[in-house]
Amino acid sequence: MKIKSLLWALSCILCLASCNKGNKTEKADYVLFSGKVSNTSENEINVYGNDNDFQKAIQINEDGTFSDTLKIESKGFYTYKIGREKSYLYLDQGDQLELTIDTKQFDESIKYTGTAADPNNYLAKKTLIRETLFTNNTRSYKELFLKEADEFKELISQNKQAKNDAFKKYKDLDPEFVATQTKDNHYQYLHMLNRYQSAHRYYTKKEDFETPEGFLNELKDFNIDNAENYKTSKAYKRLSADIFHRISKEKADKDSISIGKAMMENLTQIKSKNIRDGLMKNIAYQVSPENENAAELYDMLIAVSDNEEFKTELTKKFEKIKVLVKGNVSPTFNDYENYKGGTTSLSDLKGKYLYIDIWATWCGPCKKEIPHLKKIEKQYHNKNIEFVSISIDKKPQYDAWRTMVKEKELGGVQLFADNDWKSQFIVDYDIKGIPRFILIDPEGKIVNANAPRPSSSKLVEIFNKLQI
């Protein structure tokens, strides 16, 4: 069925659903979401609720068209993903929304029509405006935070104003949406302001840098315990998490306790349940094999949480990481394709320390580590260590993997995992994000299940201690 006919049919369904016997309109309890995706090899669009309270996979047809109903519970913000790219939606029951998008120019090509077009076109425009911080005014995140404090503040202030000015371009925006987005624009501004000092220190290598007096005055009265803002603003959520982590770090240093324990103690001061639950998920990242207090932190999280799903997932994670502590025998992999020919298993590499890089060709942070990895490899050439890189690219990216290995002249042992993210070695090491580095000793035992990156000076410190 052609897309115009499909949309007409769906519109009829929506109109019929809105009428009852008393000739009164009755709001449908779903959204009609349809459209066309160009230049994609993906076969579905995944739509998520911001609190993981909704999830729906919509099939993309061979001609790029798609259509389905979203049975949402309430008006609010949602996220959709096509492959690794994502964007945001604002939906209410009874809405009809059509999307056209070209994945080769993902954000730039987004266009919506239908009854919910204006708020969603605003969200797409807002994303493009935010990106001007990293394109028009500066070439990168790094260059933005290298700016002097006054210039940096002026740039992010102008960006906030541009996002607020964009409301005028859209006539059909309800006051609640405008109010929520105005707040979110301000919280995005505050979040950037809050990050400036640490980011500027990092990029300038000036560890003693302090922001000018009054630079953070707008953050003095920020309340990290506002349940509604936490629900409706991603920027508020990020900012409150950053501030919570900072005050917990200060408490840990002051009381000479672990950061995890300090977080748990500060958590008792949070009244909003959705914020407590969100912060507990953040704290759960501290339950890791390199944290010597992981067992204590796990027990505390289990004791205070009333979310059975969270506790079940955390328990699964804890059971995994218990086997990833230093000195335990490493999980293994078998018969991964070797770029130079044949296959390689972990057992084939025993006898030397192994520094394993888990990466993929599409991963920007992974590629940024390549020059540092090459430098380390050269520094430790002919030493008692083997450098192993395992690509978790999916099979359609196999040729891209071989091309990148060749063009970037990647050294060490280059392997291709047997089942991308679902490869047993990846699952056993509980790898949820890349790049990830693992250090194993000559006997096949774990030294560090989450080793420092090649760009970190801590890596050479570890190698020196091991007398590699």
Average pLDDT over residues 318-328: 90
Q: What is the pLDDT of residues 375-414, one digit of tens each?
A: 999 999 999 999 999 999 999 999 999 999 999 999 999 9
Model confidence at 198: pLDDT above 60: yes
Tell which phi-psi region holds residue 74, choosing left (phi > 0), alpha (psi between -120 and 50) or beta: beta
DSSP-derived 3-state class of residue 58: strand
Using CA atoms, how far apart are residues 98 and 114, in angstroms rounded to an integer? 6
Give me the pLDDT at residue 135, please: 61
Share of the chain above pLDDT 90, in %: 82
Give me the pLDDT at residue 347, please: 96
CB atoms inside a 10 Å sphere around CB 28: 19
Average pLDDT over residues 36-49: 95
pLDDT band at 89 (very low <50, low <70, confident <90, very high): very high
Task: Please report, as a single letter, which amino acid is at residue 49.
Answer: G
Q: What is the pLDDT of residues 146-195, one digit of tens each?
A: 999 999 999 999 999 999 999 999 999 999 999 999 999 999 999 999 99
Give me the pLDDT at residue 165, please: 98
pLDDT band at 53 (very low <50, low <70, confident <90, very high): confident
β-pair type (96-102, 343-344): unpaired
- Are 120 and 112 a contacting pair, CB within 8 Å? yes
* Local structure of residue 24 (DSSP, 8 states): -
Average pLDDT over residues 84-102: 96
Could you check whether the bond before residue 442 is cis, i.e. omega within 30 degrees of 0? no
Q: How far is CA 179 from CA 114, 232, 277, 332, in A?
A: 22, 11, 25, 53
Q: What is the pLDDT of residues 434-462, one digit of tens each?
A: 999 999 999 999 999 999 999 998 999 99
Domains (ranges, CATH) in the chain?
3-115 (2.60.40.1120), 336-465 (3.40.30.10)
Model confidence at 1: pLDDT above 50: no
> Any idea which residue has 């335990």 for tokens?
328
pLDDT band at 254 (very low <50, low <70, confident <90, very high): very high
Burial of residue 347 (number of CB atoms within 10 Å: 0-12, 13-18, 19+): exposed
Share of the chain above pLDDT 70, in %: 93
Task: Please report, as a single letter, which amino acid is at residue 149.
Answer: A
- Are 85 and 103 a contacting pair, CB within 8 Å? yes
pTM for the structure as a whole: 0.75
Q: What is the pLDDT of residues 11-32, one digit of tens each?
A: 544 444 444 444 445 678 899 9
DSSP-derived 3-state class of residue 277: helix
Mean per-residue pLDDT of the chain:
91
Give me the pLDDT at residue 4, please: 47
Higher pLDDT, 43 or 1: 43
CB atoms inside a 10 Å sphere around CB 371: 12
Among candidates 428, 175, 188, which has minimal Cα distance to 316?
428
CB atoms inside a 10 Å sphere around CB 455: 16
